[in-house]
């Protein structure tokens, strides 16, 4: 059985699965990059994802349309972002506490709503796989990148988009300055609070994309704790990627790839116990931490509230 695995085909399938799972973390990570670059961290990403995953599911079920589910989820995400931003940016509350509070909130509310709104586990329509006509035929790369649902393509396109925004646009640079040296930013005439607020909003909306992805593209139903820690992994990826949208791809894809592979390996009867295999994705990240974490430099004003005089 093992020999059957060490084929190119298997590798391609694993890579395709990796890319398909990636948006569950990728959107949130990209959002967090923007938010943290501006100086605000959202530890409650997991909570946002839980809430929006349920919202998308609920809406999708009642309207029969995953796109509606996505839109409503985005709206809710924006709302949460507003609240979070207000508390952390304008009121200057401790970001750790607010984030954790948000997470606990997200842990409780969707569960209750789920229990009271559904008697059976329904399945909903999801964004179907839409292969891109020519490109999906390319051997190797085709099935891996070009044979997915549209949200995957969106995520992939967002990577260079975020990179460009942060590094080459005015608003993006404003974010960065507010995160590095808000005093100087203020002196230069930038409205630090408003800029940070915008960054937080974007971060929250993107996080809600990740949450909605669970129930509008990746899975067809909902269960309690559907995100299972992915929000925290998204946070970690930002850290390991040194706050660069491009650099975080490596640990992110690696984690997802190892996760996909270990599942396939479980069926391969290779004599390694399943729980060991299950731990491998986490262990990989931790083992590679010295490599990834080297030279990691967070934005100087991260987590420090700014009092606008």
Partner 1 sequence: MSFSYFFKLAAVNLGAVAVGLSLGMLIVYITGADIILAASTLIFAPLSDLYNVAEMFVWFTALMVIAQGIGLGIRAGVWNVGAPGQFLVGSILTMMVWKFLNPFIPPLPLTLLMLVGGAAGGLLWALIPAVIRSKFGGNEIVVTLLLNLVAVSVLWWALDGPIRGRFSAGYPLSDVIPTAYRIPSLIPDSRLSYSLLIALAVAAVFYLLAEKTHFGLQVKSVGLNPTAAKTSGIKVGWTLFKTLLIAGAAAGFAGSLHLMGVLFRMDAGYAETGNDFGYIAIAVAMLGGAHPVGILFSSIFFSYMMIGAQNMQRIIQIPFPLVYAVVGCMLISLTLVQRINRRAV
Partner 2 sequence: MSRIKSVKAISTTVAAVLAVVALVVGLGIGALALGGLAGPREVTVTRTVVSTVTQTGAGATVTVTQTATVTAPGQTPFSRLKVLLILPIDEKDNSWNRAAFDAVMKLKDLYGFELSIERNLFDGTKAEPYAVDYARKGYNIIIGQGIQYMVMFHKIAPQFPNTMFLCVDCAPSLVGAFEPGAKVAPNVYNIWMTLGEGGFLMGYIAGKMTKSNKIGIVGGGRVPSIWEGHEAFKLGVKTANPNAEVLEAYMPLSWADVAGAKKAAQSMVAAGADVVSASGNGIDVGVTEAALESGVWTSTVYADLPALRPDIQKLMGSIVFRWDIVFDAAIKDYIRGTWKNGFLTATMASGIVTVSLGKNVPDNVKAEVMSLYEKILSGTLKITFDYTCFDNPDKPECKPTAAIAHGL
Binders of partner 1 among residues 215 to 244 (CB under 8 A) are 224, 229, 232-233, 235-236, 238-239
Contact assessment for residue 241 and residue 36, using Cβ atoms and an 8 Å cutoff: no
Q: Which of 217, 48, 209, 44 is nearest to 128 (CA)?
A: 217
- Is residue 285 classed as helix, strand or coil in its secondary structure? helix
Query: Per CB under 8 A, which region of 12-20, 128-136, 138-146, 295-303 contacts partner 1?
Result: 295-303
Q: Applying CB under 8 A, which of residues 133, 139, 290, 309 lies at the interface with partner 2?
A: 309
Binding track, positions 211-240, relative to partner 2; x by CB under 8 A? --------xxx-xx-x-x------------
Residues 6+ apart with CB under 8 A from 209: 23, 27, 28, 31, 70, 73, 74, 77, 151, 154, 155
Q: Name residue, tokens 């009642």.
A: 62
d(CA 10, CA 265): 11
Cα of first residue to Cα of last residue in the chain, in angstroms, is 68
The minimum distance between CB 264 and partner 1, in angstroms, equals 19
Query: Per CB under 8 A, which region of 69-77, 130-138, 202-210, 260-268 contacts partner 2?
Result: 260-268
Using CB under 8 A as the binding rule, whether residue 90 contacts partner 1 is answered as no
Q: What is the dihedral of CA 137, 67, 112, 118, to 10 degrees?
A: -90
The minimum distance between CB 304 and partner 2, in angstroms, equals 16
| Residue 199 φ/ψ, nearest 5 degrees | -60, -40
Binders of partner 2 among residues 275 to 304 (CB under 8 A) are 275, 278
Query: Per CB under 8 A, which region of 72-80, 172-180, 246-254, 264-272 contacts partner 2?
Result: 264-272
Query: Per CB under 8 A, which region of 65-73, 125-133, 176-184, 268-276 contacts partner 1?
Result: 268-276
d(CA 234, CA 22): 10
Using CB under 8 A as the binding rule, whether residue 103 contacts partner 1 is answered as yes
Give the nearer residue to partner 1 in terms of CB position, either 11 or 86: 86
Using CB under 8 A as the binding rule, whether residue 268 contacts partner 1 is answered as no
Give the nearer residue to partner 1 in terms of CB position, either 97 or 164: 97
The minimum distance between CB 261 and partner 2, in angstroms, equals 9
Contact assessment for residue 69 and residue 60, using Cβ atoms and an 8 Å cutoff: yes
Rounded to 5°, angle at Cα 158 from 107 and 34:
60
Binding-site ranges for partner 2 (CB under 8 A): 1, 4-5, 10, 13-14, 17, 90-91, 115, 118-121, 123, 193, 219-221, 223-224, 226, 228, 260, 263-264, 266-269, 271, 274-275, 278, 307-309
């Amino acid at each position: 059985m093992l020999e059957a695995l060490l084929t190119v085909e298997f590798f391609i399938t694993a890579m395709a699965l990796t890319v398909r799972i990636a948006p569950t973390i990728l959107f949130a990570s990209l959002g967090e990059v923007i938010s943290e670059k501006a100086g605000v961290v959202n530890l409650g990403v997991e909570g946002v994802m839980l809430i929006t995953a349920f919202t998308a599911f609920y809406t999708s079920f009642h309207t029969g349309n995953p796109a509606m589910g996505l839109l409503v989820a985005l709206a809710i995400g924006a709302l949460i972002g507003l609240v979070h931003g207000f508390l952390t940016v304008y009121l200057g509350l401790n970001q750790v506490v607010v984030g954790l509070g948000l997470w606990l909130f997200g842990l409780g509310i969707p569960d209750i709503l789920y229990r009271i709104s559904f008697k059976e586990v329904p399945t909903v329509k999801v964004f179907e796989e839409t292969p891109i006509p020519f490109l999906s035929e390319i051997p190797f790369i085709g099935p891996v990148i070009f044979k997915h649902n549209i949200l995957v393509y969106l995520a992939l396109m967002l990577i260079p988009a975020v990179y460009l925004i942060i590094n080459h646009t005015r608003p993006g640079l404003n974010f960065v300055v507010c995160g590095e040296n808000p005093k100087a930013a203020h002196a230069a005439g930038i409205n630090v609070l408003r800029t940070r607020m915008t960054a937080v909003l974007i971060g929250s909306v993107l996080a809600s994309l990740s949450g909605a992805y669970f129930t509008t593209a990746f899975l067809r139903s909902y269960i309690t704790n559907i995100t299972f820690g992915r929000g925290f992994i998204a946070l970690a990826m930002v850290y390991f990627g040194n706050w660069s949208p491009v650099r975080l791809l490596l640990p992110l894809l690696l984690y997802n790839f190892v996760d996909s592979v270990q599942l396939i390996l479980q069926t391969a009867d290779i004599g390694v116990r399943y729980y060991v295999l299950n731990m491998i994705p986490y262990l990989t990240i931790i083992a590679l931490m010295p490599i990834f974490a080297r030279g990691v430099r967070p934005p100087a004003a991260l987590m420090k509230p700014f009092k606008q005089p």
